[in-house]
Structure 1
Amino acid sequence: MKAVIFDLDGTLIDTLQDLAVSCNHVLAQYGYPVHPVNSYKLFVGNGVRKLVERALPADHRTEATIDAVKQTFISYYQLHAQDNTKPYAGIEELLQQLKVQNFLLGVASNKYHEATMALVAHYFRPATFDLVLGHREGRPAKPDPDIVLETLSTFAVDKQECIYVGDSSVDMQTATRAGVTAVGVTWGFRTEAELRENGADYIIHSPLQLLAVLENACSFPKGL
């Protein structure tokens, strides 16, 4: 194995509180009902537009309303994205060990690109990641494998030499479609059952368990 690509929200950093508070603030501003924080575990994962759509009442999910609420959310979230967000315990140590072992490290997120870049820059040391990509207008979102394939191309590594780490069905589907090894994490927003049902090759319950997965995957690479 030469490369490890990570999802961001629910995998590297716990963003749930700030996403929920920001979205609820905007919903209330528009006069819509708000949701318990834990409900947002099922709203996130497919990008900001889908987050807003899921949070809105079903009878108010028009294109115009979604667009308006989305823009208001982005403006508010940019000011509050770091209020409560933090890396999960063990993530920083894992990343340091991976760098010592000379793995190429990437982030591939459905969070809009500007927020992805800002959060990675704020919470992680410079040069930790060799490539950071969020969702960009005009590019397909996960589970389309485009963002993973772009990362593989930039890294100049084969799919058999890469693992993708994430916390949701979207992540497992993305890895499977890209042909890379899929590692599901249980400390994020979704359940172990969901990860297994959507193609996880490995399940880990704490960040440092990834090191053992890498040792095994190096011995038995996917697709060979």
Structure 2
Amino acid sequence: MKLIIFDLDGTLLDTLQDLGDSCNAILEHYGYPTHPLVAYKKFVGNGVQKLIERALPEKARTTETITALLAAFKTYYEQKPISHTKPYTGIIPLLQELKSLGYLISVASNKYHEAVIPLMQQYFPDISFDLVLGHRSGHPAKPDPAIVLDSIETLGVNKQNCFYVGDSSVDMDTANNASVTAIGVTWGFRDEDELKEHGAQYIIHRPQELLGII
């Protein structure tokens, strides 16, 4: 049995505008400078705490400030009235085909777990994922391989039959740290050069191309 593990933000879902809008709203509320949307392509990928830290001016990156803005961000993001988030073109047909062919599919994200679950329910209600994991308190974040290794153990597959699909250096490092096949996608938040530099074994430009690899 083969397992395909997907990153979420920048791989399955285009969440950039909602993440950027939410972070900018919190920065503005606390009196800090905001950022253009393109800047958030480099801020995301290591979890929401690191997002807040990167968005703050360097001198403001105290534990107290980061903690306060992190709590405010989570509240705002979860209650944001207007959502621009959507699956990337071709993702839902790909997931449907993978399931029809008998593959196991799962999600391993650095987004905090409590935010991942409602997103999956909202945007993929008809896709039966075999496992969905966001970042959980007390567990290391990617690029630590723990979340991938947990997925492999839970679903009972061999590493040789596991593929990790993501859009960033964090994802490629995670796959390589877990000794599974690293597949980089170019439709997300980072560029092809970054993916190659961090050990992508394959690069795909459209979701359907994944089927030619696995």
With normalisation by structure 2, the TM-score equals 0.98
Q: Which residue number in structure 1 is paired with residue 199 of structure 2?
A: 199
Query: Structure 1 residues 41, 167: CA separation in 2 closer, same or farther (over 3 Å shift)?
Result: same
Conservation of the 8 A alpha-carbon contact between 2:23 and 2:73: yes
Contact 1:16 1:85 in 2 (8 A): yes
Alignment of 1:40-59 (within 5 A): 40-59=40-59
Moved over 4 A (4+): none
| Counterpart amino acid of residue 42 in structure 1 | K
Secondary structure class of the residue paired with 1:164 = strand
Determine the structure 1 residue equivalent to 2:28: 28
| Residues paired across the two proteins, number | 214
Structure 1 position 117 matched with structure 2 position 117: yes
Partners of 2:95 and 2:127 within 8 A in 1: no
- 1:84 counterpart = 2:89: no
Distance in 2 separating the partners of 1:161 and 1:146: 17
CA contact (8 A) 1:7 1:107 kept: yes
Gaps of 5+ in 2: none
1:178 aligned partner:
178
Superposed displacement of residue 69, structure 1 = 0.4
The answer to whether the 8 A contact 1:18-1:81 is kept is no
1: CA distance, partners of 2:88 / 2:121? 16
Alpha-carbon distance change, 82 to 119 in structure 1, aligned in 2, over 3 angstroms:
farther
Q: Which amino acid aligns with 2:174?
A: T
Instruction: Find the aligned partners of 1:81 and 1:140 in 2 and give their Cα distance.
Output: 31
Cα deviation, 1:195-218, whole Å, max 9, x if unaligned, reads: 00001000000000000011xxxx
Contact 2:96 2:127 in 1 (8 A): no
Match of 1:71 in 2: 71
What whole-Å deviation, never above 9, does each CA across 1:83-127 have from its counterpart, x for those lacking one? Answer: 100000000000000000111110000000011111011100345
Aligned to 2:61: 61
SS across alignment from 1:42 = helix
Quick one: which amino acid aligns to residue 175 of structure 2?
A
Q: 3-state DSSP class of the match of 2:152?
A: helix
Which residue is equivalent to 1:39? 39
Q: Which moved more, 1:187-196 or 1:72-81?
A: 72-81
Which ranges in structure 1 are unaligned for 5 or more consecutive residues? 215-224
| CA–CA distance in structure 2, aligned partners of residues 82 and 157 of structure 1 | 39
Q: In structure 2, how many angstroms separate the alpha carbons of the residues matched to 1:36 and 1:119?
A: 24
Report the RMSD for the aligned CA atoms in angstroms: 1.0
Letter in 2 for 1:122: Q
Tell me, yes or no, if structure 1 residue 94 matches structure 2 residue 132: no
Q: What amino acid maps onto 2:27 in structure 1? A: L
C-alpha contact (below 8 Å) 2:53/2:66 kept by paired residues: yes
Contact 2:131–2:151 (CA under 8 A) maintained in structure 1: yes
Give aligned-pair identity as a percent.
61
Q: Is the 8 A contact 1:192 1:203 kept in 2?
A: yes
Is this contact kept in 2: 1:95–1:128, CA < 8 A?
A: no
Partner of 2:137: 137
**1:11-22 paired onto structure 2 within 5 Å:** 11-22=11-22
1:221 corresponding residue in structure 2 = none
* Gap change, CA 1:81 and 1:61, over 3 Å in 2: farther
Asked whether the 8 Å contact 1:19–1:81 carries over to 2, the reply is no
Residue 170 and residue 89 in structure 1: after superposition, are their counterparts in 2 closer, same or farther (change >3 A)?
Answer: same
TM-score, normalised to structure 1, is: 0.94
Q: Distance in 2 between matches of 1:143 and 1:121?
A: 25
